[in-house]
Amino acid sequence: MSRWEPNTVERLQDAAMTLFHERGYSNVTIADIAEHAGLTKRTFFNHFPDKREVLFAGSSALEERVEGYILASDREQRAIDVAISALAAAGQTLSRYSEGARLRRDVIDSSPELQERSLIKLASLARVITAGLVARDPEVRGATLVAESAVTVFGAAYSAWADSPTSDFPEHMDNVLAELRTAIVAASPAPR
């Protein structure tokens, strides 16, 4: 096994996805992933702390892109529009994962352990958005509610995009946000 093989992270991710699909997440070990990628367990641990993180690689970079977008945004924009735009812009980088998007979603959906990790990652993303909105405008109202709503839209948009990963991710964000706005209006009591 070569120590300096190119594309190590991608090879480990591809091997993991293949094995998770074939055997199920809980039936795959780190040794299995490393062996399937033609690498060692030590190499695996040089890139990932555990097998769950193979599916969530890049989440820190996503958070950084979202935060940067929020901090650079116009203060005149509404907080929800800033958060949605930040997630849509950052989400455009998902195209490199398009081939495995549906499989990734299905693997996560099949495992309570992975669902929990996904929720932790989304909560972390919401905290980043909240902090960015407050840093951008200390007077912002409901930053946490806006951030959590935007992350909910992001999750639903990702799921829709995973079904057709060649489609436009920002368009999915806009569509889900429109659905959310419609649902809120429909659920509101009629004025008296």
Report domain 8-54's class: mainly alpha
Three-state DSSP class for 77? coil
Domain-wise residue ranges, the chain: 8-54, 58-187
CA angle 146, 152, 154 (to 5 degrees): 100
Burial class of residue 51 in the structure, from the number of CB atoms within 10 Å of its CB (0-12 exposed, 13-18 middle, 19+ buried): buried
The pLDDT score that the predictor gives to residue 115 is: 95
The pLDDT score that the predictor gives to residue 47 is: 94
The residue written with tokens 């030590």 in the block is 42
Distance CA 168, CA 89 (A): 11
Contact in structure between 110 and 123 (CB atoms under 8 Å): no
Span 88-144, pLDDT tens digits: 998 877 766 677 788 888 999 999 999 999 999 999 999 999 999 999 999 888 999
Span 143-192, pLDDT tens digits: 999 999 999 999 999 999 888 878 888 899 999 999 999 998 887 777 76
Report, at the CATH architecture level, how domain 58-187 is classified. Orthogonal Bundle (1.10)
Span 35-94, pLDDT tens digits: 999 999 999 999 999 999 999 888 899 999 999 999 999 889 999 999 999 999 988 777
The residue written with tokens 């840093």 in the block is 135
Distance CA 64, CA 131 (A): 12
The pLDDT score that the predictor gives to residue 117 is: 94
The pLDDT score that the predictor gives to residue 95 is: 67
Burial class of residue 139 in the structure, from the number of CB atoms within 10 Å of its CB (0-12 exposed, 13-18 middle, 19+ buried): exposed
